Chains A and B, each alone.
Chain A
Amino acid sequence: MPILEVKNISKRFGDTEVIKDISFSLEKGETLSVIGSSGSGKTTLLRCLNFLETPDAGTITVNGEVIFDAADPMSRSEKGIREKRLHFGLVFQSFNLFPQYTALQNVTLAGMLLAKERPDYKERKSQIHEEIISNAKTILDSVGLSSKLDNYPHQLSGGQQQRVAIARALALNPDILCFDEPTSALDPELTGEVLRVIRELAERKTTMIIVTHEMSFARQVSDNVLFMDEGFVVEYGPPEQVIGNPQEDRTKQFLERYFENGNN
């Protein structure tokens, strides 16, 4: 059973349909890269999965449980959304760290707040806090930031900030971790450290959806690649096919333009 099944998802803003009838599925431990030119609807797709937008049509199923069904008014209600969105994590293009908290606090904050809802919170409060903190330290260590625990976001480089953001998303242990162009806001010399972290996550079989313009990276780490154009899924398959040997004209054009512009 796939960990995620997206079926016939559509989303319109006013009169323009931004994503159209998108379907795909994802196996546990799989890394899926989403590519496509700017404006093709990639961000909107991730935002739908994270309940930042409500699709107008379609269903989202995680681990066999339908967590969203546009036809069912219940799944549009605010209630329950908070729990359901915890199936997903999202790493933003612009990091969106909380500036008033240290790196460590950024990673622990949400966990601390969620822990308050646990039935055993009152009795085990300090123990729970310690667990959350030690878990956060382990994760920050795994993204190479064990020496930056007490730094505030403005004291960190863009690459370090994005690694904190990845750690923050990982701390809640999501089933599927989504990245929206995680290196696009970074100076070129800082993209490497972030891509390295994501590559390690892929090697450890973290289930991920990565929207990226880093074509060679996508080719190396992905199990599958999805090419979007004007809101449609145009081509889907293993990277050797979609990037290495595309079948569709629109994919070919996109990749030609991409490689002509001097990227690699």
Chain B
Amino acid sequence: MNIYIASLFEGFWLNIRLFILTLVMSIPLGLVITFGSMSKFRPLRWLVRTFVWIIRGTPLMLQLFVVLYSPGLLFGVPMKSRMTAAIIAFVVNYAAYLSEIYRGGIESIPKGQYEAGAVLGMTKSQVFFKVILLQVVKRIVPPMSNEIITLTKDTALARVIGIAEIIMCAERFTKQGLIWPLFSTGLFFLVFNGVLTLVLGWLERKLDYFKV
């Protein structure tokens, strides 16, 4: 019995690593993409928005295969590790989604907030960091929470490029005639998402002291 549980934990550790690395990298990368997609320089804006459109309009599963195989097949430099390929695909995919959430948040802040800061002699960066940013954060926490919960479950997709994440581990046992490991993977996700929901809810309440 223990060997099964150990195997599931080992698999889930991969899910968690993928989850954390994706979040840590896609959150800032998303912001960079946002600035590109809001740039006053038209060609850049157009390029970035097209890129976001492609990423959001195609399956993550396809993107995983593309990242894994195209360096080798197109340029003769095969991807060194499957995990690296998975991380790249996930980070780019989630950064594209997050960038749209950021953009929505930034664009929803009324012009009057910028103008009020400006007439009070604030610099553009002071207006952004002291006035705008926290309002944007407050607005994007709920949609970001959704993305983050979705990400935990999406990590299971990494198996399509051969990453032995938890569901892949559990499926091996079904070949030995065992079904409960498969069921119990659900528990891992439920517990993990339960904790996440609590943390994100706490963050949302932390920002409850003001209204935007």
Q: Which A residues lie at the B interface, using CB under 8 A? A: 50-52, 82-83, 85-86, 88-90, 92, 94, 96-100, 109-110, 113-114, 152-154, 168-169, 172
Do A100 and B135 have beta carbons less than 8 Å apart? yes
Name the one of A52, A82, A86, A152 contacting B210, with C-beta atoms under 8 angstroms: A152
Chain B interface secondary structure, helix, strand, loop or mixed? helix
- Give the interface size bracket for B toward A: 20 to 34
Task: Decide yes or no: A82 and B115 within 8 Å by CB, A99-B211, A109-B130, A152-B210 being known contacts.
Answer: no
- The smallest C-beta distance from A14 to any residue of chain B, in angstroms, reads 18
Inter-chain CA distance A89–B110, complex, in Å, is: 20
Residues of A within 8 A of B138 (CB): 100
Do A172 and B121 have beta carbons less than 8 Å apart? yes
Given contacts A98-B117, A99-B135, A153-B210, 11 further A-B contacts (CB under 8 A): A82-B122, A92-B115, A98-B116, A99-B210, A100-B212, A109-B120, A110-B121, A113-B122, A113-B126, A114-B121, A169-B120
Considering only CB atoms, which chain B residue lies closest to A83 in the complex?
Answer: B121
Do B212 and A90 have beta carbons less than 8 Å apart? no
Residues of A within 8 A of B131 (CB): 98
Considering only CB atoms, which chain A residue lies closest to B118 in the complex?
Answer: A52
Considering only CB atoms, which chain B residue lies closest to A82 in the complex?
Answer: B121
Residues of A within 8 A of B126 (CB): 113
20 contacts between A and B (CB under 8 A): A51-B118, A52-B115, A82-B123, A83-B121, A85-B119, A92-B116, A94-B112, A97-B116, A99-B211, A99-B212, A100-B135, A109-B120, A110-B120, A113-B122, A113-B126, A152-B211, A153-B211, A154-B210, A168-B120, A172-B120
Name the one of A85, A89, A109, A154 contacting B211, with C-beta atoms under 8 angstroms: A154
Q: Which of B99-146 contact A (CB under 8 A)?
A: 110, 112-113, 115-123, 126, 130-131, 134-135, 138
Considering only CB atoms, which chain A residue lies closest to B207 in the complex?
Answer: A100
- The smallest C-beta distance from B112 to any residue of chain A, in angstroms, reads 4
Inter-chain CA distance A83–B117, complex, in Å, is: 13
Residues of B within 8 A of A88 (CB): 119
- The smallest C-beta distance from B33 to any residue of chain A, in angstroms, reads 26
